[in-house]
Structure 1
Amino acid sequence: MSTDSAFEKQLAGYRLATAEIFYHLPDHPDLLQTYIWQDYDIAPQYPVLKKFLDFWSHELEGPLHSVRLASQKLITASELRSVGAFALN
C-alpha cells in the first residue's frame, strides 16, 4: 500500500502555499495579468516557489511584476494521532 505523496509532504513539514503572480503581458507591457500557483512548499524559504519563479524568469516571456504569497500548515503534530489498526483480507 502506498501513502499519498501530499500527505507525506505534510508530515515532513511542507505547507500548502498559494501564490498570486502578477506579470506584464508580453505584447502589452503596461497591462498586468495574474496567475495563481499552488503547491506544497517549506516556509520560510519556499524553495519550490523559488524554483518555479526562476523557471518563469528564464523561460517565459511575461516579465514578473510582483508575487503575493499565502500559506497554511494543514496537519500539525497535535492533530495526528493513532485511531487503531485494522487488517485487510
Structure 2
Amino acid sequence: MAASETELMLKGYGLTTAELFYRMPDYRHVLNSFIWQDYDLAPDYPRLFKFIEFWQEKIEGPLHSVRFAHRKLISPGEWRHVKGEFYLN
C-alpha cells in the first residue's frame, strides 16, 4: 500500500522538482523541457535517479541536462502532538 504524502513527509521525504532538458529525436538542435515532481529523500534522491535511468533506457530523446530543487515541507521543529486546546474569550 502506498504511503500518504503526510506519512512520507514525517519519514523525512521532501518535495523534489526536476526540470529535464532533452533533445528531440528527429531534431537534435531543438531542446524541450519536462517537469517531474515527487517526494524523495535528500541527499541521495533515489526516486529522481530511478526516473532518470528510466528516461535514458526507454525514452528516445537524449537528456541534455537536469536541474532540480528539493524542499522539506515538515521539519522536526514544526510538528508536535497536541493533547488539548484552551479557549480564551
TM-score by length of 1: 0.87
Name structure 1 gaps, 5 residues minimum: none
| Residues 1-89 of structure 1 aligned to structure 2 (within 5 Å) | 5-84=4-83
Q: Match of 1:8, SS?
A: helix
Hey, which bits of structure 1, 4+ residues long, moved more than 2 A?
none
Q: Match of 1:45, SS?
A: coil
- % identical equivalent positions: 54
Could you tell me how far 1:74 is from its partner in structure 2?
Answer: 0.1
Could you tell me how far 1:26 is from its partner in structure 2?
Answer: 0.9
Could you tell me how far 1:27 is from its partner in structure 2?
Answer: 1.2
Q: Match of 1:30, SS?
A: coil
TM-score by length of 2: 0.87
Could you tell me how far 1:83 is from its partner in structure 2?
Answer: 2.4
Give the total of aligned pairs: 82
Could you tell me how far 1:82 is from its partner in structure 2?
Answer: 1.5
Provide the aligned C-alpha RMSD in A: 1.2
